């Protein structure tokens, strides 16, 4: 395993069998995370990018079996934040010094292209970079977002295993999701994707394929999250993903895509109080502090125990900065594009 890790550090390449071997070996995790940390330092440095996350609607027309926002979860109280309030939250994020705002929601058709572009234009006046994560749209929509000023888009493939995807995302199409990722690139947005780790029926081979897929699409950002079962979904009794495996998938992603942006995800922090720290010391270089008003945050429940739900935006940010300084890292002062696009800043 040592030789495989060494090879990945030098060449940023591993084949499917090599990835499977590393994913299945329980003893290699410390060396793997240390190697990813070294590659992270070499390619993207010690600075951490903070992205202020606004969860602006929990309405969703889709029915993903793992997600608390799924259409058939009638126990969830639904909300939409209106445009002036979204702009106020973004303004507050910018005033707190955050250089990127991320707008995330369920797939909510109420936010038409016209409404979204109005919000995008308003936020771009604040001088911040803007990331969207609002699900599958047409190429024309993505182009309209880009023209209005959006910079990046996050759309996880969730899993590259078609059968598994169809089982857990009823009514959706893996090929359409794949096409959306291509369309985002065509529209000129930075492309973020990622996967869930620990979906029922998922194999280490399919996780290896996920990592190879990230390289194939030449992603700018990759978010890896352990799947956490939600009691009001069909997967309520599933075992759920393991933090250690999610960290290994993340570390391997850093080894193969050395200069991209990789968040220490909230789901990692939800599974363990030191989940994000371990991620930051195993290849991650991004954190997304939540800047949504506390009153809404409890309803954006993708999974139970979503970390820090009771904190105000200022408290969330303060906690994150303490964490970063506590491990000798610093907050980046630029907008934090993928290094190959960094002249945009
Ligand atoms: N609706 C958009 C979409 O699906 O792309 C964006 C919002 S969606 C809530 C963001 C991400 O949450 C999904 O890509 C999925 O990976 C993650 N997610 C949903 N349910 C989860 C769960 N139970 N555990 C961990 N992550 C989950
Ligand atoms: Fe909707 Fe996204 Fe949740 Fe799927 S993962 S139900 S698309 S919010």
Quickly list H helices, the chain: 2-11, 16-24, 29-44, 83-95, 113-124, 139-148, 162-168, 174-186, 204-216, 243-256, 266-271, 275-280, 294-297, 313-326
Determine the Cα–Cα distance for residues 299 and 77; give it in Å rounded to an integer: 6
pLDDT in tens, 148-167: 999 999 999 999 999 999 99
The pLDDT of residue 306 is 75
The pLDDT of residue 308 is 55
The pLDDT of residue 343 is 59
pLDDT in tens, 51-93: 999 999 999 999 999 999 999 999 999 999 999 999 999 999 9
Q: Quick check: 54 and 90 in contact, CB under 8 A?
A: yes
Q: Quick check: 243 and 276 in contact, CB under 8 A?
A: no
Average pLDDT for 307-315: 71
Determine the Cα–Cα distance for residues 102 and 105; give it in Å rounded to an integer: 10
Q: Given pLDDT bands bounded at 50, 70 and 90, which one contains residue 209? A: very high
pLDDT in tens, 9-67: 999 999 999 999 999 998 999 999 999 999 999 999 999 999 999 999 999 999 999 99
The residue count of the chain comes to 345
The pLDDT of residue 141 is 98
Residue 320 clears pLDDT 70, i.e. is over it = yes
Ligand 2 atom nearest to 70, measured from its CA? 6
Tokens read off for 335: 């907008």
DSSP, collapsed to helix, strand or coil, labels residue 132 as strand
Centre of ligand 1 from the C-alpha of residue 302, in Å: 7
Q: Whose CA is nearest to atom 6 of ligand 2?
A: 70
Q: How far is CA 284 from CA 26, 112, 221, 254, in A?
A: 21, 34, 10, 8
Tokens read off for 48: 């951490």
Q: Given pLDDT bands bounded at 50, 70 and 90, which one contains residue 309? A: low
The pLDDT of residue 307 is 53
DSSP count for the chain of H helices, then E strands? 14, 8
The pLDDT of residue 304 is 87
Reading phi first (left if > 0) and then psi (alpha if -120 to 50, else beta), residue 283 is in left
Q: Which helix (H) or strand (E) holds 274?
A: none
The pLDDT of residue 345 is 52
The pLDDT of residue 274 is 94
Please tell me if the CB atom of residue 70 comes closer than 6 angstroms to any atom of ligand 2.
yes
Please tell me if the CB atom of residue 172 comes closer than 6 angstroms to any atom of ligand 2.
no
Measured at the alpha carbon of residue 81, what is the angle toward residues 227 and 185, in degrees to the nearest 5? 60
| Domains annotated on the chain, with CATH | 2-333 (3.20.20.70)
Q: Which helix (H) or strand (E) holds 264?
A: none
Residue written as tokens 């969207």?
132
Please tell me if the CB atom of residue 65 comes closer than 6 angstroms to any atom of ligand 2.
no
Measured at the alpha carbon of residue 273, what is the angle toward residues 272 and 276, in degrees to the nearest 5? 85
Centre of ligand 1 from the C-alpha of residue 4, in Å: 32
Measured at the alpha carbon of residue 17, what is the angle toward residues 15 and 20, in degrees to the nearest 5? 110
Sequence-ordered list of residues with C-beta below 8 angstroms from that of 304, at least 6 positions apart, any chain: 68, 228, 230, 231
Q: Whose CA is nearest to atom 19 of ligand 1?
A: 67
Average pLDDT for 166-170: 96
Tokens read off for 4: 């495989």
Centre of ligand 1 from the C-alpha of residue 106, in Å: 9
Mean pLDDT of the chain: 95
Determine the Cα–Cα distance for residues 316 and 300; give it in Å rounded to an integer: 16
Please tell me if the CB atom of residue 107 comes closer than 6 angstroms to any atom of ligand 2.
yes
Residue 246 clears pLDDT 70, i.e. is over it = yes
Centre of ligand 1 from the C-alpha of residue 52, in Å: 17
Sequence-ordered list of residues with C-beta below 8 angstroms from that of 274, at least 6 positions apart, any chain: none
The pLDDT of residue 30 is 97
Please tell me if the CB atom of residue 297 comes closer than 6 angstroms to any atom of ligand 2.
no
Determine the Cα–Cα distance for residues 53 and 102; give it in Å rounded to an integer: 5
Q: Given pLDDT bands bounded at 50, 70 and 90, which one contains residue 314? A: confident
Ligand number, closest to the Cα atom of 195: 1
Residue from 71, 137, 196 to probe ligand 1 pocket by mutation (most atoms less than 8 Å from CB): 196
DSSP state of 107: -
Average pLDDT for 198-209: 98
The pLDDT of residue 297 is 84
313: nearest Cα among 57, 29, 94: 94
**Among 103-112, 165-174, 184-193, 288-297, whose mean pLDDT is lowest?**
288-297
Centre of ligand 1 from the C-alpha of residue 262, in Å: 16
Please tell me if the CB atom of residue 69 comes closer than 6 angstroms to any atom of ligand 2.
yes
196: nearest Cα among 171, 223, 220: 223
Tokens read off for 83: 């445009």
Please tell me if the CB atom of residue 106 comes closer than 6 angstroms to any atom of ligand 2.
yes
Ligand number, closest to the Cα atom of 66: 1
Residue from 53, 70, 71, 170 to probe ligand 2 pocket by mutation (most atoms less than 8 Å from CB): 70
The pLDDT of residue 311 is 75
DSSP letters spanning 40-109:
HHHHH-SEEEEEEEEEEE---S---TT-TT-TT-TTSPP-B--HHHHHHHHHHHHHTT-SEEEEEES--T
- The pTM of the full predicted model, rounded to 2 decimals, is 0.97
Give residues (CB < 6 A) around ligand 1: 66-67, 69, 104, 106-107, 133, 135, 155-156, 158, 196, 225, 227-228, 230, 267, 302-303
DSSP, collapsed to helix, strand or coil, labels residue 174 as helix
Q: Quick check: 256 and 23 in contact, CB under 8 A?
A: no
Q: Quick check: 239 and 200 in contact, CB under 8 A?
A: yes
80: nearest Cα among 131, 126, 116: 116
The pLDDT of residue 38 is 98
């Amino acid at each position: 395993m040592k030789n495989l890790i060494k090879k990945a550090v030098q060449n940023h390449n591993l084949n499917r069998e090599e990835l499977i071997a590393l994913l299945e070996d329980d003893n290699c995790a410390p060396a793997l995370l240390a190697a990813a940390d070294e590659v992270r330092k070499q390619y993207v440095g010690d600075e951490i990018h903070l992205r202020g996350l606004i969860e602006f609607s929990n309405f969703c027309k889709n029915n993903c079996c793992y997600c608390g926002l799924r259409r058939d979860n009638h126990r969830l109280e639904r909300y939409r934040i209106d445009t002036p309030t979204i702009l106020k939250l973004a303004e507050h994020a910018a005033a707190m010094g955050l250089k990127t705002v991320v707008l995330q929601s369920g797939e909510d058709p109420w936010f038409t292209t016209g409404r979204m572009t109005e919000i995008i234009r308003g936020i771009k006046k604040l001088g911040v970079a803007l990331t969207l994560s609002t699900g599958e749209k047409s190429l024309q929509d993505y182009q309209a977002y880009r023209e209005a000023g959006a910079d990046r888009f996050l759309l996880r493939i969730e899993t590259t295993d078609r059968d598994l995807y169809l089982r857990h995302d009823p009514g959706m199409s893996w090929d359409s999701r794949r096409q959306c990722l291509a369309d985002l690139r065509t529209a000129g947005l930075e492309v973020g994707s990622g996967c869930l780790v620990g979906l029922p029926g998922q194999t280490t081979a399919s996780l290896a394929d996920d990592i190879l897929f990230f390289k194939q699409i030449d992603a700018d950002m990759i978010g890896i999250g352990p799947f956490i079962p939600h009691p009001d979904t069909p997967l309520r009794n599933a075992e759920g993903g393991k933090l250690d495996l999610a960290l290994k998938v993340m570390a391997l992603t850093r080894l193969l895509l050395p200069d991209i942006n990789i968040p220490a995800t909230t789901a990692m922090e939800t599974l363990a109080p030191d989940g994000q720290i371990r991620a930051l010391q195993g290849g991650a270089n991004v954190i997304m502090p939540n800047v949504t008003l506390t009153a809404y945050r409890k309803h954006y429940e993708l999974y139970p125990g979503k970390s820090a739900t009771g904190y105000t935006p200022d408290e969330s940010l303060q906690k994150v900065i303490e964490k970063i300084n506590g491990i000798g890292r610093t907050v980046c002062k630029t907008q934090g594009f993928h290094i190959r696009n960094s002249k945009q800043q």
